[in-house]
Amino acid sequence: MALSTELGKIKQLHNAEAGVLSLYLSTKPSERDKWEIHLKNELRRLEQEIKNGDEAKLKAFKGVRERAEREIMGNEHKLLRSIVLFAEGNDGLFELHFLQLDVENDFHYGDKPNLDQIERLDAEFPNTGILLAQLDSITAYDTRLGEVEDVVVFDLNLDTDQWRRYQGRGKGGEAASSSQIDQFDSRKEKQVRRFYRDIAGEIRSLHKKHKWNEVVIIGQDRSANLLKDELDIDIERVVNRNLGNAEEEEILRRAFEQ
């Protein structure tokens, strides 16, 4: 689940006897050769501090530390600009997230989570819709806190001129990115314009439903500009890249980089 949808559960962790680890770790490009050292040093520091206190809490922390290091290192391929983790001792709640937002390094272990940074980020970074525009497909990503919360795909069949809507990750046609601009003749341009015009209302509905404060379009010049022309909404920025076969992390990275 996305971090924004789990904040309610995290906020309920008050007076947790086993303790709660709150971890904010910068993994932006300038920190890529340092974050592992920060992680190990700060977790070691917390363990030393806890050794002077409750034995039960120390045991709980060791379990949290072991799982945190294992899960973070095992998902290193998901690195974006930061790691945020909230983990309760004795196998309680465990929320690990890789965000496309900057944080300051901060590690805390106590009877409640340290939510200062995540609450500030939640207020500073608005809900954003990312529209991945391709010749025969539009993928709409609903994002908050730099994470994808929902995905809707609109696919056009260029042979039948019919389009379909799919909900969720991994849905839709498999060849949406394969045709692209090399076959973008005048006939297909008319088809694509009709397709974009048809789904403009659907995208406006998503904009209203998810309360997007910003919209970003990603696509090669022609596709991105055609989509922008058909949408009667403010577009924050257009990223001229073909990311049809890109992983979700790469799409987020490109959408939010300045």
Examine the domain organization and report whether 12 and 115 are in the same domain.
yes
CA within 13 Å, CB half, 76: 9
Domain that holds residue 217: 126-256
d(CA 100, CA 98): 7
Domain count, the chain: 2
d(CA 49, CA 230): 59
Examine the domain organization and report whether 196 and 86 are in the same domain.
no
d(CA 225, CA 6): 36
Examine the domain organization and report whether 119 and 143 are in the same domain.
no
- Of 96, 123, 150, the position where a domain reaches its end is 123
Examine the domain organization and report whether 116 and 218 are in the same domain.
no
- Of 123, 149, 166, the position where a domain reaches its end is 123
Examine the domain organization and report whether 89 and 171 are in the same domain.
no
d(CA 79, CA 128): 20
What is the CATH classification number for the domain harbouring 193? Answer: 3.30.420.60
Examine the domain organization and report whether 90 and 132 are in the same domain.
no
Under 8 Å CB-to-CB from 142, ≥6 apart: which residues?
A: 127, 129, 148, 149, 150, 151, 152, 206, 210, 212
pTM, two decimals, is 0.76
What is the CATH classification number for the domain harbouring 72? Answer: 3.30.960.10
Render pLDDT for 115-125 as a digit per residue (tens, 0 to 9).
999 988 887 77
- The helix or strand, by DSSP H or E, that contains position 141, with its residue range, turns out to be strand 137-144
Examine the domain organization and report whether 63 and 138 are in the same domain.
no
Q: Is 28:114 a contact under the CB 8 Å cutoff? A: no
Examine the domain organization and report whether 138 and 195 are in the same domain.
yes
Examine the domain organization and report whether 148 and 250 are in the same domain.
yes
pLDDT score, position 147:
86
| 251 DSSP assignment | H
Q: Is 65:55 a contact under the CB 8 Å cutoff? A: no
Render pLDDT for 91-138 as a digit per residue (tens, 0 to 9).
888 999 999 889 999 999 999 999 999 988 887 777 899 999 998 899
Q: Is 155:166 a contact under the CB 8 Å cutoff? A: yes
Render pLDDT for 30-72 as a digit per residue (tens, 0 to 9).
988 999 999 999 999 999 999 877 788 899 999 999 999 999 9
Q: Is 77:122 a contact under the CB 8 Å cutoff? A: no
Render pLDDT for 173-214 as a digit per residue (tens, 0 to 9).
443 444 444 456 777 888 889 999 999 999 999 999 999 999
